[in-house]
């Protein structure tokens, strides 16, 4: 037989085996075994045999073939794709992502490889990268030149261009669901979440089975603080595909958002068993365990993540952020080795800088500790567009608008429910301690730093005049009594999912709500407002050495911290003057020195009878969702009150910016000091 004839016969045999794959895998296996006897190591035959094994559920057997085959044929995109799919099905997420990325790098026009890559990235919590992969899937799965061009612009982050093309497309074809979904992605990237949600709703009206659109919708509902709706959409997706790891991961995240930690922990545990080599999954699992009070399990989850990715700065910081955790000398050396790497990602570097700062602080090495804190803060500050002048302008505007006459004209407005207790102030000022004390009372439930007030301010901002310097406050001033009551009803309805007990009162401890006391008073006039205040150098430095997961953009520069503290004191002094007695202040140092007396005064303000459990707050097993979670599970101790003094030599920028506020603490200074910035 000639070589050409033999080759033709082999190709025919391979084609026949390929046709048998799904119809008769046993016969396909026999055919492929025969081919491999005649042509040992033939790559196409091995690839097809691996496919047969995958179809039969023999994933280890498939990988036994695909791993060496991919190593021997590194430039074959189809082999890398098959390897990625098999790894994903085996729960080896990081390896699957690497293989799939190699596949699409070798052959970008593989739409299903992009889709599977998106699924793997979603399961790993890499949402931004997943969005890009899904957009690439659209780009390469359509032959429509308009959609292809729009998808390319979206993948390359040329948002205005993508928006223009998609508008034109939808003008021509208003029911094109692929274009609607892509347009929703454009709106979401531009921060127009409401527009994005409406677009996705329309998309799902037209195509209820469009899974990627429903997944986007669920995620956007979660980001828009609509957890109940998000869970409903996730359940629809899981009904269609119970094993969808990305949806299960998202469900766990939403459950954590609403305080249902134990079911979330069960999901994370199952995912970690199925995807044991996914570092980000172990971090999410650790966060949930930590918040629910399972400290040792949380530490084990964090350490497992570090075994997989020793450079993972967020995990090192998560361990440091336990506050009661102490690094060993070997762990400090490991962090320093990572920091010394020239190729370390910037996000890992800043997290490691904060973590090393904490480790050195615990060791009493304050000067190098401060240097590392300063390094982490400098990296973070360079990424931000924060302006202390803008914050001061906001405070000035609030003080000018919210006068005694303003409130008198709206007396009696709002919803009469007394349910919420708002704990406000600066972060790291003792608000978690206050929450823990109050939530130990039988009539009070602790929740978390609820985002609903911020959501309402965004709604008002959209209703206001865009040309107004402060559209939210202008829109609020224009509301009548019914509209203010409706806002109160909305707040109560949207926070109801956070309430797990029959307690009549609940706590919202979002500290930044001190900027919104006017709104709170108008829409919920019977709600309680507690101001947590701590010494400005103690509070300011504690914020500076804390890397916050989000928000608190003022905290990454000592002078900015000083300005922010001054503005806070000025604003609280204003509301003390225009709404006398409305806000109850808890000074942290007084709480430490006279806990029983301060607790009784706090309960009196809230209209609650004294209960001994409030003095045994550290025995309260409730989940605590802040950086102080482990500290408030211990009795009050004085050591932390003056700890900042170890760093006094480096706090001059903070002290000098505080000005008279420092000398007058805990009271506000007299006069017009607050305008002298």
Q: Which of 40-54, 86-100, 283-297 has the highest mean pLDDT?
A: 283-297
- Give the residue-averaged pLDDT of 640-655: 92
Predicted local distance difference test score (pLDDT) of residue 629: 45
Does 120 have pLDDT greater than 90?
no
- Give the residue-averaged pLDDT of 85-92: 86
Whole-number Å distance between alpha carbons of 90 and 88: 5
**Of residues 525 and 176, more confidently modeled:** 525
Predicted local distance difference test score (pLDDT) of residue 18: 63
Phi-psi region of 547 (alpha: psi -120 to 50; beta: other; left: phi over 0): beta
- Torsion sign, CA atoms 17, 23, 27, 28: positive
The CA distances from residue 667 to 358, 533, 660, in Å, are 31, 10, 10
Lowest mean pLDDT, pick from 107-111, 334-338, 483-487: 107-111
Percent of the chain past pLDDT 70, that is, above it, reads: 90
- Give the residue-averaged pLDDT of 158-182: 88
Predicted local distance difference test score (pLDDT) of residue 627: 47
**Residue 78 binned pLDDT confidence (cut-offs 50, 70, 90):** confident
- Give the residue-averaged pLDDT of 615-621: 77
Whole-number Å distance between alpha carbons of 312 and 347: 9
Lowest mean pLDDT, pick from 443-447, 451-455, 655-659, 668-672: 668-672
Whole-number Å distance between alpha carbons of 309 and 323: 22
Does 392 have pLDDT greater than 90?
yes
CB count within 10 Å of CB 125 equals 19
- Burial (Cβ within 10 Å: 0-12, 13-18, ≥19) of residue 328: exposed
Does 5 have pLDDT greater than 80?
no
**Of residues 316 and 2, more confidently modeled:** 316
Predicted local distance difference test score (pLDDT) of residue 603: 97
8 Å CB contact between 504 and 489: no
**Of residues 364 and 35, more confidently modeled:** 364
**Of residues 515 and 619, more confidently modeled:** 515
Whole-number Å distance between alpha carbons of 98 and 515: 46
For residue 356, what are the contacts with CB-CB under 8 A and spacing of at least 6? 332, 335, 336, 339, 372
Question: Strands 528-533, 444-448: parallel, antiparallel or unpaired by DSSP?
Answer: unpaired
Helix (H) or strand (E) holding 508: strand 505-508
Q: Which of 23-37, 38-52, 141-155, 484-498 has the highest mean pLDDT?
A: 484-498
Predicted local distance difference test score (pLDDT) of residue 279: 92
**Residue 620 binned pLDDT confidence (cut-offs 50, 70, 90):** low
Predicted local distance difference test score (pLDDT) of residue 343: 95
Domains of the chain (ranges; CATH) run 3-254 (1.25.40.10), 413-647 (3.40.50.300)
3-class SS of residue 634: coil
Task: List, for residues 178-220, the tens digit of each pLDDT value.
Answer: 889 989 999 998 888 889 999 999 989 888 888 889 999 999 9
- Give the residue-averaged pLDDT of 37-42: 70
Predicted local distance difference test score (pLDDT) of residue 625: 46
Tell me which residue of 242, 308, 250 sits closest to 123, measured CA to CA: 250
Task: Calculate the CA 222 to chain-centre distance.
Answer: 10
């Amino acid at each position: 037989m000639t070589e050409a004839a033999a080759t033709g016969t082999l190709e025919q045999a391979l084609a026949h085996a390929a046709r048998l794959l799904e119809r008769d895998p046993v016969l396909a296996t026999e055919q492929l075994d025969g081919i491999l006897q005649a042509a040992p190591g033939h790559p196409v035959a091995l690839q097809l045999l691996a496919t047969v094994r995958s179809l039969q559920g023999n994933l280890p057997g498939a990988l036994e073939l695909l791993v060496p085959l991919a190593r021997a044929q590194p430039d074959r995109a189809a082999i890398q794709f098959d390897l990625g799919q098999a790894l994903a099905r085996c729960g080896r997420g990081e390896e699957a992502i690497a293989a799939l990325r190699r596949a699409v790098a070798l052959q970008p026009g593989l739409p299903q490889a992009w889709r599977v890559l998106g699924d793997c990235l979603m399961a790993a919590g890499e949402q931004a990268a997943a969005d890009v992969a899904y957009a690439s899937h659209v780009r390469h799965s359509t032959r429509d030149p308009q959609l292809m061009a729009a998808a390319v612009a979206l993948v390359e982050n040329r948002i205005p261009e993508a928006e223009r093309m998609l508008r034109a497309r939808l003008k021509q074809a208003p029911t094109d669901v692929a274009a609607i979904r892509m347009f929703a992605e454009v709106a979401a990237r531009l921060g127009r979440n409401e527009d994005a949600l409406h677009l996705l709703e329309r998309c799902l009206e037209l195509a209820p089975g469009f899974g990627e659109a429903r997944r986007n919708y669920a995620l956007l509902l979660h980001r828009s603080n609509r957890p109940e709706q998000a869970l409903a959409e996730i359940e629809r997706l899981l009904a269609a595909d119970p094993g969808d790891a990305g949806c299960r991961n998202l469900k766990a995240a939403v459950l954590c958002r609403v305080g249902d930690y134990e079911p979330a922990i069960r999901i994370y545990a199952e995912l970690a068993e199925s995807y044991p080599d996914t570092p980000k999954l172990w971090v999410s699992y650790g966060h949930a365990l930590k918040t629910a009070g399972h400290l040792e399990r949380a530490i084990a989850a964090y350490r497992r993540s570090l075994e997989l990715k020793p450079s993972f700065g967020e995990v090192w910081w998560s361990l440091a952020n336990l506050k009661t955790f102490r690094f060993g000398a070997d762990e400090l050396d490991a962090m320093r080795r990572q920091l010394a790497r020239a190729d370390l990602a910037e996000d890992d570097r800043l997290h490691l800088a904060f973590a090393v700062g904490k480790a050195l602080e615990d060791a009493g090495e304050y000067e190098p500790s401060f240097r590392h804190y300063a390094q982490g803060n400098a990296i973070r500050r360079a990424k931000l567009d924060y302006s202390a002048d803008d914050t001061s302008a906001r405070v000035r505007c609030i003080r000018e608008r919210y006068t005694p006459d303003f409130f008198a004209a709206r007396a009696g407005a709002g919803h009469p429910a007394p349910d919420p207790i708002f704990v406000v102030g600066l972060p790291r000022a003792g608000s978690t301690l206050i929450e823990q004390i109050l939530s130990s009372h039988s009539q009070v439930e602790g929740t978390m730093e609820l985002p609903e007030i911020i959501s309402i301010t965004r709604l008002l901002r959209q209703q206001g005049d865009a040309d107004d310097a402060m559209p939210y406050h202008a829109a609020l001033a224009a509301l009548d009594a019914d509209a203010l009551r409706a806002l109160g009803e909305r707040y109560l309805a949207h926070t109801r999912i956070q309430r797990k007990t029959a307690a009549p009162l609940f706590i919202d401890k979002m500290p930044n709500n001190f900027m919104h006391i006017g709104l709170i008073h108008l829409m919920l006039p019977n709600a309680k407002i507690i101001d947590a205040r701590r010494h400005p150098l103690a509070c300011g430095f504690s914020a500076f050495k804390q890397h916050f997961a989000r928000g608190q953009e003022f905290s990454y520069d000592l002078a900015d911290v000083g300005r922010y503290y001054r503005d806070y004191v000025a604003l609280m002094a204003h509301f003390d003057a225009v709404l006398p007695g409305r806000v109850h202040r808890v000074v942290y140092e007084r709480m430490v020195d006279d806990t029983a007396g301060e607790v009784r005064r706090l309960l009196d303000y809230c209209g609650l009878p004294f209960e001994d459990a409030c003095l045994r707050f550290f025995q309260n097993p409730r989940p605590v969702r802040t950086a102080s979670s482990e500290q408030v599970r211990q009795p009050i101790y004085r050591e932390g009150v003056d700890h900042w003094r170890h760093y006094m030599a480096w706090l001059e920028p903070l002290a000098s910016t505080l000005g008279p506020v420092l000398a007058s603490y805990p009271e506000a200074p007299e006069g017009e000091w607050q305008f002298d910035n």
